[in-house]
Structure formats: C-alpha cells, structure tokens
Structure 1
Amino acid sequence: MAPKDTIAPVDQLSATLRSKTPSEQSSNPAGTPKKTANPIRRKLSRKTLLAINFGSVAAGLGAWTAFSAAGIVGLPGPVEVLVRGGELLADGTLAEDTGASLARVLSGFLIGSLLAIPVGFLMGWYQVGRAVIEPWVQFFRTIPPLALLPLVMVTMGIGETPKIFVIFLAAFLSCVISTYQGVVSVDKTLINAARVLGANSMTIFRRVVVPASSPFILVGMRIGLGAGWATVVAAELLAAPNGLGMRMQQAQIFYDMPTILVNVIVIGIFGLLMDRLLLMIEAHLTRWQERR
C-alpha cells in the first residue's frame, strides 16, 4: 500500500481516469481520420476576443450617444459625462468617494470570503457540521442583506461597522453555498481512487477535495463580489459621510444626471476589474481542469 502522502493530486487522478480503455482504443484503429472540430465551437484567439470586446464597447457607446441625441428621459451623452467626471476627479471628490466605497467593499468581501471557505468545507465534508450550520445559512440566505440594514444600524450605530457587516453577510452567504456545493460535487471516483492508493481522509481532503472545489469557490467569490458592490451602494444611502452611493443620492436630489452616471460607471469599472482579477486567479488555480 502506498504511503499516505504519495497520493497523486486531483489533476493526475482525473487524467488517469479519463484515459481510454483498451476496448475504446481498439475501436478507433490507426489511420481512421478524426472528426473535425465544430467550427461554431472553435476556440478564438486572444486578439479576436479583444477585438470583439472593443467592438461591443464601441457599439454600446454608439447606442448611448444615439439615445442621448434623441432626448430620451434626459439622458446625458458620453462627452457630458466625461467632462463631469473630469471635474469630480480634479476637485478630489471622485477619488475620495471611490476610495471609501472600495475600502468598504474589500473589507466586507475579504472577511466574508475567508470565513465562508472553511465553513463551506465543514458543511460539505462533515455531516454533523452540515446538520448544525446549514439551517442557519439557508435561513439567512433567504433574507436580503439590505432588509437587515435598519436593524444592523440600530444595533451597531451609523459608522463603518454596519456597512462592512452587510457587505460581509452578502459575500459570506454567496461563497459558503458555492463552497459547500463544490465539496459535495467532487467526483466520488476520484475519492475512491485515492483510497485505493492508500490515502487517508485528511490527504484526500487536501489533495483531492480542495483542488476539485476551487472552481466552485471562485465562482462563489465572484457572485459575492457583485453582491458586495450592490450592498455598499444601498448602505451608503443611509448616513454615510462619503462614498459613491452617497454621492449618487445627493445628485438625485438636484437631478444631476451626469454625476449619477459618473458614479455608476466607476462602480462598473471597478467591479469589472476585480472580477477579471478573480478570473485570472481561477485560471491559474484550475489549470488542470478541462475547458471548452
């Protein structure tokens, strides 16, 4: 029996189990031409994808300009919004609000994700842990974090703590469910193969379950990040001294549409950049996984 630490990681186990059996190999004799790939699902080059991205952005800006020129609901054009963004950036207002909102989102998101991962593993790996934790997770998951905002502010005050707490709750609930689903969805064949090779439960968890669950964890983090940005904007509408949400509320009072759109665009840009960063981390951690 192999020593417990010599078990192959999940990528090698998956590759071994995906290899063809002798009967499958004999069914495809040498010289038989392989089927050509479907051109619709052909993998595009990075330059092509970037060109499509820029084309999509250009089309969106063109549609925005057309709607603005048509005078639909008083929507300002891209040039007007760009000028207003330059003014807010020059007087330091945009940088201050962006920094405040970004600090709140990162604090709540990181705390929620770091706590959700071990809790999700505990729920998925131990049935007792699942029985204890899952009812509470499912209970709070059905309650929108914004519904708890008045209660949180009454109990915690109007400082930074309640704002970070509701962001933490939104990120935690998204990530813990995804992590739990990743653990329970691990292919049982991989676990059985590891046991045959002599691995104990801790080795299987560390070398098989954790790598196989990483795609689910990162998907949950991406969902939690989006929920964090949505929550911080609503949290800043109540007694916030600064922030993108607070600035949009002030602009709403004076019907300042360019300022509202500037803050909306900033949130979208930072959300997109942070999501792309998580995608890069996912691609690095799941290089062993087959992709379409």
Structure 2
Amino acid sequence: MKKVKKGKFIQVPSWIWMCISLTAAMALWILIASSEAGGVIFAEPWEVAQKAVDKIRDGTLWGHVGISLFRVLTGFCIGFILSVPIAILMGWYAPFRKIVEPWIQFLRNIPPLAYIPLVITGAGVGEKAKIIVIFIASFLVMVVTIYQGVCNVDTTLIKAAMVLGAGSREIFFHVVIPASTPFILVGARLGVSASLTTLIAAELTGASKGLGMMIQKAQGYYDMSTVLLGIIIIGVIGLLMEKGIRFLERRLTGWQETTGAQ
C-alpha cells in the first residue's frame, strides 16, 4: 500500500512561519496607518521605532518598564503563592470547599476595576494599591483554574494508590499535587495575562511612572506613537513571560501526553 505523504507545509521550520506572520502583520499595520481613517489612530511603524529610540536615549523608557514589571511580578507572585494552596484545599477538602468556593465564585465575577475605589481608600495611592489590584485579578483567575484541575484529577490514579495501601497524606502529596501540576502552570499563564491586562487600570491609582501611565499621558497629548509603543512593550513582556512558563511546563510535565503545538 502506498504511503500517504504529509503536507509539505508541516516540514517548514517554525521560524519561517514566524517571519511570514510578522511580515503580514507589518504590512497590515502600514496599510491601516496609511489609510485616511486608520492614520488617525495608528502611527507609522518607523515613527514608533523612532519614539522607542528617543525614549531609550533619554532613559525614560527603562524607568517605565522597570516599575511596571515590578508591579506585575509582585502582584502575580503573591497571587500565585496564595492561590495554589487555597485551590488545592478547595478541591481536596469538602468542608473548606463549601465555605470558600461560593465567595471565590462571587468575587471572580466582579471586574478588578470595581475594587479600585476601595483599594485607594484603604491603601492610598502608593505602590501598595497598584500591587493589590493586580493581585486580585491574577489570584481569582489562578485559584479557579487550579481548583478545576484538582477536581479533574483522574480517579483511577487515586483508586490505584488506595489499592496499593496509600493513605490520604500519600495520595494528596504523591498523586493529587503531581497530577494537578499542568493545571497549576496553565493557571500561572492565565494569571500573567490577567496581571498585564490589569496593569493600566492599576496605574490609574495615582502612578507617576509605568507603561500604563506613559500610555495615558501620551493619549492626552495625542501622541499615538508613544501609545502604540507602550501597547507593544506590554505585549512583548506578556509573550516572554508566557514562553518562560511554557518552558517550565515542558520540563515539569514532560510525562504528560499531549496533542497540538506547544
């Protein structure tokens, strides 16, 4: 029987597809920016590039990037550290779940923006307020995702461990937590996204520096090249952080059979 050959596009290196994607995106950007309607919103790519060079030379860009990264990473890390044990306890212990889950489900339906007046009143307009807003957004996303992962642990694994004589402690630490690791990392990826999405809202609480503040200030002066520069930098930071978590995911969950591209 004659073997069916795979499509040739599968053999094309991934970096070529990336180049094609970037070229297409750049062409679309130029097309929109050169149009009468799109030119009002989108600056030309070279204008954005020149703005980046100018801000790097005068040293202002690194200040905005550094303080925004500090806020995002601090809020995300606090949210991650708290969400993992709470989500695991919710999934493993019924009394804890029945007390905590209704409040988690209630709070996650409230946009993080709604907490800003309360946060400002309680924590002022300093760094603490910004970190709290980012923490709330990332924590709620991660705790729900990880909790669902714990609930979806294969019961066959638990039953097999019980047959082999494992107690509740051994099942919890050697079955439930390892089986939940992929969901913990997926929750981390979603938490990073939520942190970056909330960054601009968090910097509404009286920030003098930061990418969100840079974007807001530039919008007031109708400096669209700076606005686009800030948006692109936030996107690049998010992409790099997600790539880092994906790397950890491949290293820590290499035993898991998956389908699809990584």
Q: TM-score band, normalised by the shorter chain?
A: over 0.9
Equivalent position to 2:117, from 139, 150, 160: 150
After superposition, where does 1:102-181 map in structure 2 within 5 Å? Answer: 102-181=69-148
The match for 1:219 is 186
In structure 1, distance between residues paired with 2:13 and 2:177: 34
Equivalent position to 2:162, from 191, 195, 206: 195
Secondary structure in 2 aligned to 1:158?
A: coil
Secondary structure in 1 aligned to 2:255?
A: coil
For the pair 1:262 / 2:229, whether they are aligned, the reply is yes
The match for 1:52 is 17
Higher relative contact order, structure no. (Cα contacts within 8 Å, ≥ 6 residues apart): 1
The match for 1:3 is none
Letter in 2 for 1:290: E
Distance 1:253 1:117, change over 3 A: same
For the pair 1:63 / 2:25, whether they are aligned, the reply is no
Secondary structure in 2 aligned to 1:140?
A: helix
Letter in 1 for 2:32: F
Could you tell me which runs of 5 or more consecutive residues in structure 1 were left unpaired when the two chains were aligned. Answer: 1-32
Equivalent position to 2:213, from 240, 246, 251: 246
**Length, aligned pairs only:** 257
Structure 1 residue 50 displacement after superposition = 2.2
Distance 1:56 1:168, change over 3 A: same
- Please identify runs of 4+ aligned residues in structure 1 that moved more than 6 A: none
Distance 1:37 1:244, change over 3 A: farther
The match for 1:95 is 62
Whether contact under 8 Å (2:200, 2:212) holds in the other structure is yes
Instruction: Calculate the TM-score normalised by the size of structure 1.
Output: 0.84
Secondary structure in 2 aligned to 1:99?
A: helix
Q: Deviations over 1:229-261 (max 9, x none)?
A: 111111212310100111111111110000101
Distance 1:37 1:168, change over 3 A: farther
Letter in 1 for 2:212: G
Letter in 1 for 2:96: G
The match for 2:252 is 285
Structure 1 residue 152 displacement after superposition = 0.7
Whether contact under 8 Å (2:51, 2:226) holds in the other structure is yes
Whether contact under 8 Å (2:129, 2:205) holds in the other structure is no
Distance 1:247 1:121, change over 3 A: same
Could you tell me which runs of 5 or more consecutive residues in structure 2 were left unpaired when the two chains were aligned. Answer: none
Q: Deviations over 1:195-215 (max 9, x none)?
A: 111111111111211111111
Distance 1:194 1:152, change over 3 A: same
Letter in 2 for 1:213: S
Secondary structure in 1 aligned to 2:72?
A: helix
Whether contact under 8 Å (2:83, 2:143) holds in the other structure is yes
Instruction: Calculate the TM-score normalised by the size of structure 2.
Output: 0.93
Structure 1 residue 44 displacement after superposition = 4.7
In structure 2, distance between residues paired with 1:78 and 1:112: 36
In structure 1, distance between residues paired with 2:6 and 2:95: 49
Distance 1:145 1:37, change over 3 A: farther
The match for 1:28 is none
Equivalent position to 2:171, from 199, 204, 216: 204
Distance 1:221 1:43, change over 3 A: farther
In structure 2, distance between residues paired with 1:121 and 1:92: 44
